[in-house]
Amino acid sequence: MKLYGYFRSSATYRVRIALNLKGVPWEAVLVDLRTPANAQHTPQFRALNPHGLIPVLQDGAYTLTQSLAIIEYLEDTHPEPPLLPRVPADRAQVRALALAVACDIHPLNNTRVLGYLRAPLGADDVAVNAWYAHWIALGFSALEQDAQRLSGDGRHLYGTAVTLADVCLVPQMYNAHRFKCDVEPYPTLRSIYAHLERLPAFARAAPQVQPDAPPACS
C-alpha cells in the first residue's frame, strides 16, 4: 500500500495510526502542502484526487480518499484488531464520536481554511489562533462530556479498547497542543490522550517521527 500524505495532516495522521494498529505494511509518499511546493495542486496529484486533498491510499488497483472511508476500508479488509465494536448501537456511538472530531471540529481548523482566513480575508495570527481555539473549545467541551459518559476506563474515548474514536481524537489533541489551546478544562480527554500517545501504533504515527518532518518539529 502507498499512503500519500503530509506529516502534520490530521487526516493522514489518522490513517497512519489505523495502518499501524492493523499491522499493515505501507509506503509513505510525501505530498508537501507548504508554499511554494503546494504539491496537492499539481496535475499529477489532482489525477489521483481531483479534490486536491490528502490522504490518498493506493492499494493495488484501488485509489481511495477521505480518511474515515480509508479506515473503514482497512476495517473491512483487515478486521483484526477491530476499530469498531460488534454491537450496532456501540458502532454507532463510536462513529458519532469520530465524526464529532472529523466533521465538526477538524474542517473548521483545516490548513486551507486557516489559509483563507489569512488571505484573502486578512486575518492576522492573533485572529487566526483565536478562531482555532474557539472551535477546539466548543468541540472539546462536548467531547469531554461524551468521554465522561462513554469511556470505560479513562484511557479510551469509548469503552476499554482502542476504537475509531481514539484514532480521530489523538491527532486533534496533538493540534490543540501545537496551537497552544487551553486543554486544562478537559481532564478526561487529556487522560485518554496521555495513554494513547504512548502506545506503539500511535507513537510511530506521530508527526514528529515522519520522514518528511523537519528536525525542529514537535
Q: Residue 62: enclosing H or E segment and its boundaries?
A: strand 62-65
CB contact at 8 A, 82 and 26: no
What is the C-alpha to C-alpha distance for residues 198 and 212, in angstroms, rounded to an integer? 21
User: How confident is the chain (218 residues) per 10-residue block, as mean pLDDT?
Assistant: 97 98 97 90 96 97 98 98 98 98 96 94 97 98 98 98 98 97 98 98 97 82
Q: Positive or negative, the Cα torsion across 84, 138, 185, 110? A: positive
- The pLDDT assigned to 218 comes to 57
Residue 35: per-residue pLDDT: 85
Can you name the residues that pair with 4 across neighbouring β-strands? 29, 56
Closest CA to 163 of 218, 209, 202, 206: 202
| The pLDDT value given to residue 181 | 97
Predicted local confidence at residue 27, as pLDDT: 97
- C-alpha cell read off for 28: 509513505
Whole-prediction pTM? 0.96
